[in-house]
Chain A
Amino acid sequence: MSLPVRVGTLLVAFLAVVGGVIFVVIHFLLAGPPVVDYAAGVAPGQPVSIMLQEDPQNTVSNHPDWVSYFIKDPKTGAWVHTTLFQVPAGSRVNVTILGYDGCTPLRNPFWGMVTGTIGGVEDVNGSPVSVLNSWASCSVGHTFSIPGIGLNVPVASPTTLSANKNVCGLSPCTSGPHTTVTFSFNAPKSDGDYFWQCRVPCGLGYLDGFGGPMQTIGFMTGQMEVVS
């Protein structure tokens, strides 16, 4: 093999490896869901209102059978398929979650207790609730839990058989049986990232429901970024 051919082969092989590394970095390591910014234009300490919905599936990703949260962009009003959001430090965060998914019992009913909210309650369709017993009735779809600040809110689900059989089939959901859950909590006063998660084993197709969307940012877990 002549020298130019050997050099050319080496060069092609080198470029292939470099290209592969760049692809992996960009496609897998740097790619991620967008961050919905609720802190823009809001002074630290001022209240913000954020809105989420949890869907029984999503039709906007390559995992259509995974349950998923969506977050409403305050600027455009559009639902964004992400679980990352920013809030101002020290602010009162007013949260509304639209629970479009049917009920699934909590693995540990302890998480049926509301903790970390202002007043220690959530409002389910306008009625204050401090505990939801997902083992006694069809009542909980998922949870919204931020362990770092002691926040745990069981998100109520539609309760009847017909509602559970006719859950919304197109994401983000705009119609169909759902509950409206509202609550407030105080964001930490200093900057930081706080992960949040669902505690219902809702990973369809994974061992005992503990994988898939439960372990994937953009679906049933994410981060609250506190910024000042």
Chain B
Amino acid sequence: MAAETSAPATGAGEREPNHGMRIFIIWLVLALASDLLIWFVLGPHLPPGDLASAANGQQFDIKVMSAMAAPVMVFVLIQFIYSLIVWRHREGDEEDGPPIHGNTRVQVTWITLTTVIVLCLFGFGTYELVNGPGAGAGSGEGPSPIVNPPGAELTVAQQMAPYSASKPLVIQVIAQQWRFTYRYPQFGGFETTYLAVPQNQWVEFDVTSIDVIHDFWAYQLGVKADADPGVNNVAYTKPLQLGSITVRCDELCGLWHGAMYDYGSVMTQSAFQSWATASQAHFADVTKMLPPYATTYDPTEIKQLGTVLVKLGLTGAGGGYYPPNDPSQP
């Protein structure tokens, strides 16, 4: 750029304009305009929305990163377009261009600025990850989360304690080919295919699988957590607004992976409690058949079956699970 700004006059008596200042002014106006547009116009529509705290955090992070990246992109584009217009080859001009040499000041400025931007983003991203449960990531933190909301319940006994609006609502997400089911241990452990969460209350998702690896992605809630067999993957969010939720599997999990989605909703506290109480009664018969609530379930073993199968004399395919390696039929 220095070489360009110090280019000789193009004609006798003409003074070379201050290209650097021109570019800076154009950049300042466009960078400011693009940042304002990103923040106030595009920002509220950026994914995944602001239905829940984790989603809100992700949207804020994307807004910040976009607002920081836009001036850099605008600068590169302006430099490119300005060069094409101002320093284009003109009819009849057969002269060589001026020799270009490196400019230490420009190089150091560029490297320093971009380094500062990247380090700031690194610091910002790190802070956002630990700034409250699910703040910037919304993803599973594993069985022992580092950042928990007040009153988080991580043991089976805690999770099965009666529901209280002052503590996180525990929902166990059970993935299986090709459907998610949701278990509510604080409401007697009933299981359902519909995801309902209350507004303005922390929700603790305990995500697991009973067959292969899936991924629980509750888009509008900003939660995305792997569902692995034998693993309890905990993720938090706090629904802030009423609305509908779309849940998809985001891990290729077999033939009908693409059809593994369902819907849910964020309800008011009173509506949620009514729904949960009604569901508890509706599913009472099948709840009695479910295994005791646990943070994970072993796909290869069901201890409760032993008595029945032994009494009946069945083994293998006729009455038992196929072991992982080449089972035999009775």
Contacts and interface: CB of A to CB of B under 8 A. Distances in A.
Contacts of B304: 135
Given A205-B322, A208-B324, A107 B299 contact: yes
Interface of B: 174, 176-179, 181, 191, 193, 210-212, 254-256, 259, 262, 283, 285-286, 289-291, 299-300, 302, 304-305, 308-309, 312-314, 317-322, 324, 326-327, 329-330
A102 B320 CA distance: 10
B63 to A, nearest CB: 36
B285 A130 contact: yes
26 contacts: A102-B317, A102-B318, A102-B319, A103-B319, A104-B320, A108-B174, A109-B290, A110-B290, A135-B308, A136-B308, A138-B308, A167-B318, A197-B256, A202-B317, A202-B322, A204-B317, A204-B322, A204-B329, A205-B326, A205-B327, A208-B321, A208-B324, A210-B177, A210-B211, A214-B177, A216-B255
B259 A105 contact: no
Interface in A71-95: none
Given A130-B285, A135-B302, A136-B289, A107 B176 contact: yes
A8 interface: no
Nearest to A136: B308
A164 interface: yes
Interface string A106-118: 0111101100000
B286 A105 contact: no
B286 A208 contact: no
Interface of A: 65, 102-105, 107-110, 112-113, 130-131, 133, 135-138, 147-148, 150, 161, 164-165, 167, 195, 197, 199, 201-210, 214-217, 221
A131 B191 CA distance: 14
Contacts of A108: 174, 176, 181, 191, 210
B130 to A, nearest CB: 35
B315 to A, nearest CB: 11
A109 B174 CA distance: 12
Contact of A147 (B179, B191, B290): B179
A207 B254 CA distance: 13
Given A107-B176, A110-B290, A135-B289, A161 B305 contact: no
A28 to B, nearest CB: 15
A197 B178 contact: yes
A106 to B, nearest CB: 9
Nearest to B286: A113
Given A136-B308, A147-B179, A164-B319, A208 B211 contact: yes
A113 B282 CA distance: 11
Contact of A203 (B174, B262, B322): B322
A135 B321 CA distance: 12
